[in-house]
Amino acid sequence: MPLDNQGLLKALGPDAGDGLQTVHTLLCRREAGAFQRAAKSGDDLLVACTQESRLFLELNGQTEGAPGVAERPIRFVNIRETGGWSKDARGATPKLAALIALAQLPEPDPVPTVGYRSNGRVLVIGAADRAQRAAQMLADKLDVSLLLQGGGTLPQPRSFAVHSGAVTGITGWLGAFEVSWSQRNPIDLDLCTRCNACIAVCPEGAIDFSYQVDLSKCTSHRDCVRACDAAGAIDFERAPQAESGAFDLVLDLSPTPLLALHQPPQGYFHAADEAALVAAVLQLRESVGEFEKPKFFDYRQKICAHSRNEQIGCTACIDVCSAQAIRSDASRKGKAGGATLAGIIVEPHLCVGCGACTTVCPSGAISYATPRLDHQGRRIRTLLSTYQRAGGTDAALLIHSQAAGSQLIEVLGRAARTDAAVRGVPARVLPLDVWHAASVGIDLWLSAIAFGASQVWVLMTDEEAPDYRRAVAEQMQVAQAILTGLGFAGEHFRIVEARAAQALDAALQAAPAQSVRKPATFAVQADKRGTLDLAIEHLMQQAATVPEAIALPAEGSPFGSLIVDAERCTMCLSCVSACPEAALADNADKPQLRFIEKNCVQCGLCASTCPEDAITLEPRLWLADAGKARKQARVLNEVEPYQCIRCAKPFGTLKAIELMVGKLGAHPMFQGAHSDRLRMCGDCRVIDIHTHPDEVRITDV
């Protein structure tokens, strides 16, 4: 690689130390002694080579006087395939400096973990021959049960518990699966002794060595029943039996998976062919014991816009979750501002950490925790600020997964070394690895633009579910509408679809878009809405002109206003109690419906709660008065109070009284002269009722 060590030293600043005074060209082998000398120093150690990380860790352990990795972690960063092996390598010094600076950041704070316990009870589902073969590969390590689907041959020895039937449900996760099936075949495999008498006597050949009756061939001779009289395993009159069992692991050998999820639960393996079967068996054999993974998310029910007062609002997280780890739960109730609220339940054992739910959540009620927003924001700001300080321009931030995304970038870098037609990762493209590409959303994208990035690209491979692509694309349309509305030219956000190095190479050659004149310095907040406000405020300051409002796409917009039909609104204020974000409020002094637009997340709870269908959502970003107007309360509807006809005390609105008269005017209690009771305040109505004791009282009207 054409490394400019002096340029790197200057870019990284005085804290870079003396380690960059020497350029190592064959560090992993010939110059291993240099690593050992550095290891003995006890200083923080960063190795710009990921290929031989195992070798370096072994060298550290074998080096006398070197601290162990528990005392002094050794970090690794790839600057070779990500930039050094590129046709732009000679201009990649700012990027390499940025990647090195990023790798030196402290590790994120630890998060709680989710535990699993597996005792090795595995259920193999499939045709008899394949299921038996899989069972033999697992039997020495696991407790195997078979659930047969279709024909095949069962051996005479009863080595495994064997069931048959059609699967009706699979729920759970590693260590806690519940599988249910319906047994409809006349032969009960638990009772069957495999004596083969039924096979011998069946004139139609409807029974084979799977010991199940092919009902399409059977013509009801029932010779098999008589032959099986002693065991009693065959009964054509038996009603279908609903069976279920608890298992730690499931191996599904069906042609199509029984769990049709892009992200199936841990402990469930599908193997349609032999290669997949071998891979699944290798993993299953190691799936006994206790395991843990990070708890990927944080959830704050109080600001969740899912439900209020038995009305459903935002369902974005439920709709996007490919693991079906999120569900609505009306029983999860609490109180917020006098409203009954129901939340969501996120099952951490099913959550795979894709983070798409946090990307689409408009309020930030569910947020990513591995790492948290503020740490991820610090990574982005460090990457971009170091790149700019080293003289880099037009940075394109390439967000990619640590698994398939990193692998594809490495393939591209190696291809650039050998193929003259492949350029490799351009010098202006800064890769940022995350656990999952869908876990970074509009708050961090706009922050990256505010920090000086020209573009933000999200690399997606076969690893990402189709719903993730849709969700990320919708959020990018919102982010792009904001930048376009502020006058920033070009395409700033894009999903990079690539499954091969050549496709990725072509996609990364796009022209830059307009960036800010002065990069922001704010710190990304742990709160999504707070970060969005900071980013938008800086982008407004950098914009040539700021419009009064920017229209946003209807799908996925986290910002917007409300349009209230004053002719229909009765000022019942049901919408106020339904609003989870305090965007709507009343006025204690007079009938007013007030609105703070900055707080609105466009969840629609106000519209679905309104009994008069008087509210319509208006997705937009309101920037009047330099953005100050959206932070202040404004009146959406106001009416004069209606005064009690007896004491003149204000107690409602004219439309509310007219509505009440229309609905209750035919009631016997309000006939004749007593119809005036509907126009009295509560106190005067009670007095009027008590002054006429001869009348029937109906108190619960």
pLDDT tens per residue, range 343-384: 899 999 999 999 999 999 999 999 999 999 999 999 999 999
Six token digits for residue 309: 């007062």
Q: Are residues 528 and 409 in the same domain?
A: yes
pLDDT at 16 over 70: no
pLDDT confidence of residue 330: 61
Q: Are residues 428 and 474 in the same domain?
A: yes
Q: Are residues 153 and 284 in the same domain?
A: yes
- The separation between CA 534 and the C-alpha centre of its own chain, rounded to angstroms, equals 24
pLDDT at 428 over 90: yes
pLDDT tens per residue, range 198-254: 999 999 999 988 888 888 899 888 999 999 988 889 999 888 889 999 999 999 999
Q: Are residues 385 and 364 in the same domain?
A: no
In a domain, 545, yes or no: no
**Per-residue DSSP letter, 120:** -
Q: Are residues 279 and 314 in the same domain?
A: no
Average confidence score pLDDT of the chain: 90
- State in Å, rounded, how far the first CA of the chain is from the last one: 84
Q: 197 in helix, strand or coil?
A: helix
For residues 657 and 679, the answer to whether their CB atoms sit within 8 Å is yes
Residue 347 sits in a domain whose CATH number is 3.30.70.20
Q: Are residues 203 and 282 in the same domain?
A: yes
pLDDT confidence of residue 172: 97
pLDDT tens per residue, range 135-171: 999 999 999 999 988 767 777 777 888 888 889 999 9
pLDDT at 18 over 60: no
Residue 499 sits in a domain whose CATH number is 3.40.50
Q: Are residues 318 and 430 in the same domain?
A: no
Check: pTM over 0.85? Answer yes or no: yes
Q: Say how far apart CA 641 and CA 634 lie, in whole Å.
A: 19
Domain that holds residue 557: 550-638
Q: Are residues 405 and 507 in the same domain?
A: yes
pLDDT tens per residue, range 78-132: 999 999 999 999 999 999 999 999 999 999 999 999 999 999 999 999 988 899 9
Q: Say how far apart CA 660 and CA 646 lie, in whole Å.
A: 18
Q: Are residues 94 and 60 in the same domain?
A: no
Question: β-strand 339-346 against 396-401: which pairing, if any?
Answer: unpaired
What are the residues whose beta carbons fall under 8 Å from the beta carbon of 316, sequence distance 6 or more?
Answer: 357, 360, 361, 362, 471, 556
Question: β-strand 560-564 against 615-622: which pairing, if any?
Answer: antiparallel
pLDDT at 698 over 60: no
In this prediction, residues 8-25 reach a mean pLDDT of: 67
Find out whether the peptide bond into 203 is cis, omega within 30 degrees of 0. no
Residue 147 sits in a domain whose CATH number is 3.50.50
More confident residue, 163 or 614: 614
Reported as a pLDDT band with limits 50, 70 and 90, residue 700 is very low
pLDDT confidence of residue 699: 46
Domains identified in the chain, total number: 6
Q: Say how far apart CA 483 and CA 618 lie, in whole Å.
A: 19
pLDDT confidence of residue 685: 81
Among 222, 348, 226, smallest CA distance to 294 is for: 348
Q: Are residues 385 and 531 in the same domain?
A: yes
What are the residues whose beta carbons fall under 8 Å from the beta carbon of 514, sequence distance 6 or more?
Answer: 454, 488, 489, 490
Strand partners, 650: 643
More confident residue, 696 or 316: 316
**Per-residue DSSP letter, 24:** -
pLDDT confidence of residue 165: 85
pLDDT confidence of residue 688: 80
pLDDT tens per residue, range 263-287: 999 999 999 999 999 999 999 999 9
Sheet strands side by side (includes 396-401): 429-434, 396-401, 455-460, 493-497
Domain boundary among 351, 368, 385: 368
In this prediction, residues 323-351 reach a mean pLDDT of: 76
pLDDT tens per residue, range 54-80: 989 999 999 999 999 888 889 999 999
